Structure 1
Amino acid sequence: MVSTTEPQRKLIIQIPCFNEADSLPVCLAELPREVSGFTQVEWLIIDDGSSDATIEVARAHGVDHVVRHAGNKGLARAFMSGLDACLRLGADVIVNTDADNQYCAADIPALTLPILEHQADLVIGARPISAIEHFSPVKKALQRLGSWVVRVASKTDVPDAPSGFRAISRAAAQRMMVFSDYTYTLETIIQAGQKNLTVVSVPIRVNADLRPSRLVKSIPSYIQRSIVTIIRIFIVYRPFRFFGSIGIALFSVGVLIGLRFLWKYVSGDGEGHVQSLILAGALLGMGFQTLLIAFVADLLSANRKLLEDMRVKVAELSKDD
């Protein structure tokens, strides 16, 4: 029996779902109803426009809350809908996991412990990527690349950034905003790093593969989407570095070509190298314009951060009212 002097904390475990009627029972059978440090543990699924019996299966297996999308909005939107619902339901900590039972639910206490001990705002479950047999070498390489990009952009030390098994404090969840329609995993870590939230990783176990990944429909498609996601991450969260690097590169090449023409001209051989002067002028102009874009993009990024802070403050005021 829970002591009345123990802090009242609610944990909600959310599961984004899209046509998961077959795998969901296996996943739900593993979820805990009691987790150390929490007085309430509830389950929530986000039905992302399923056409099968996902909702009926969820309710039959004791899911407490169901959020429904009228159509398929994608994993990132399902994740954010879940966070919003969990906050409205009074969650102190939110755990996100997948409906394919990829992650070992017995590791949820280890995932939430750093938050309970006030050592983290966001906890990422780090899978043993190299030991997962059903991951192809290409997918493993892309996982490592994505994690490296996130570490550079967020200034955090996350070994498995694409992992969807994560625990989020209430304060961190209130500050999350996902712009990508494809996946939330990389973007949320970068946001946490920019907002000075503490991000840590804990090792977790994985279960046997129940079905192929919905995100990885084919290796070429996965590579294309991963590259686009990585580029968008740098544009949105490091705009000055992204456009500034391009601008400096163009400007530098223009200067070098211009100096080459100037040397030829001083040596009396400039008449046959007018095309170098034209190219240098074009590169210098492009570099200067790109640097201007870098400053404008940086101002827009600062404005976005202010709007996100206003959103959090409005949410806090609404809760107080």
Structure 2
Amino acid sequence: MNTILAIVPALNEVDNIGSVVQNLKSTAPWLDVLVIDDGSTDQTAEVARAHGAKVISLPVNLGIGGAVQTGFLYAVKNHYDVALQVDGDGQHRAAEIEKLIAPILIGEADVTIGSRFLVKTSYKSPWPRRFGIYFLSKTIQSVVRKRYTDPTSGFRAYNQKALRVVSMHYSTDYPEPDSIVTLVKNRLRVIEISVEMDARLSGSSSITPFKSGYYMFKVSLAIILNSMMSRIWRE
């Protein structure tokens, strides 16, 4: 039987993390759930443990990339067949997990990305953010010659081969778009799967309109530079 790990990065998600872990465990009881507490100053870690998750508490805030990469390293060390990346704010539906991992389990993909935009879904996104996602999609397409409609999605699944790559090479700051280039350059099969997502359960995103513009510029530059680098992993 395949062993599957859900990696849940979380920073000060005390109001959301209990529901996230509970939904994962009730919908997919065959999952192991690992919460990466990224230097939270609230009770995120305690609530996650109380709901049955394994927890790694980082002594300082590493950012989303460092937190997720910690989970990748854990998955590789513990020989998981598949690892999922699931946000700690409740946006990612546990009911969509089987759809996300199915192509990996049957050997059709090495990485799957849950997309809100591959086909029309109920998800509503503000137009500035939608434009930023479109811009990043075009930037990635220009260097990998393949279109990804939702490159900022953090709802993903990886097989062992892909985990070996991202556990060694993963951007620390907003890594999702840049990692697509890394994975494709390493000759991994990266596909999108249409999924439904929700708005975060409570609280607000840390990405303000100003940060969105800076993020788009920074990540686009990282994508271009990454495309010029040699492959990271070899068979």
Correspondent of 2:47 among 49, 57, 61:
57
Q: Which runs of 5+ in 1 are unaligned?
A: 1-7, 239-300, 314-321
Say which of 95, 98, 103 aligns to 1:106: 95
**8 Å contact kept, 2:182–2:226:** no
Q: Greater helix share, 1 or 2?
A: 1
**C-alpha separation between the residues in 2 aligned to 1:82 and 1:99?**
13
Identical-residue share of aligned pairs (%):
26
Q: Which has the higher contact order (CA 8 A, sep 6+)?
A: 2
1:126-145 pair list within 5 angstroms? 126-128=115-117, 131-133=122-124, 135-145=125-135
Alpha-carbon separation, structure 2, partners of 1:25 and 1:32: 11
CA distance in 2, matches of 1:147, 1:193: 14
The alpha carbon displacement at 1:40 in A equals 4.5
Structure 1 Cα separation of the partners of residues 132 and 121 of structure 2: 12
Corresponding position of 1:172: 162
1:213 equivalenced with 2:137 (yes/no): no
Aligned in 2, Cα 1:34/1:100: closer, same or farther, shift over 3 Å?
closer
Q: Of 27, 34, 53, which residue of structure 2 is paired with 1:44?
A: 34
Stretches (4+) displaced over 6 A = none
Change (3 A) 1:34 1:138: closer
2:233 corresponds to: 309
User: How many positions carry a matched residue from both structures?
Assistant: 231
1:48-87 mapped onto 2 (5 Å cutoff): 48-63=38-53, 65-87=54-76
Gaps of at least 5 residues in structure 2 are: none
Cα distance change on mapping 1:190 and 1:111 into 2, 3 Å: same
2:172 to 167, 170, 181: 181
Match of 2:11 in 1: 18
CA distance in 1, matches of 2:105, 2:170: 29
CA distance in 2, matches of 1:100, 1:136: 18
Across the aligned residues of Structure 1 and Structure 2, the Cα RMSD in angstroms comes to: 2.0
- Bigger Cα Rg: 1
Which residue, 181, 185, 194 being the options, matches 1:203?
A: 194
Within 1, Cα distance between the matches of 2:143 and 2:93? 29
The answer as to whether partners of 1:67 and 1:85 remain within 8 angstroms in 2 is: no
Counterpart position of 2:220 = 230
How far residue 209 of structure 1 moved from its aligned partner, in angstroms, is 3.2
Preserved contact between residue 110 and residue 158 of structure 2 (Cα < 8 Å):
yes
CA contact (8 A) 2:170 2:179 kept: no
What secondary structure does 1:15 align onto? strand
Deviation at 1:29, TM superposition (A): 2.2
1:122 shift after superposition: 0.3
1: CA distance between counterparts of 2:101 and 2:10?
A: 22
Partner residue, 1:29: 22
SS of the residue corresponding to residue 175 of structure 1 reads: helix
TM-score relative to the length of structure 2: 0.91
Q: In the alignment, residue 27 of structure 1 is paired with which amino acid?
A: V
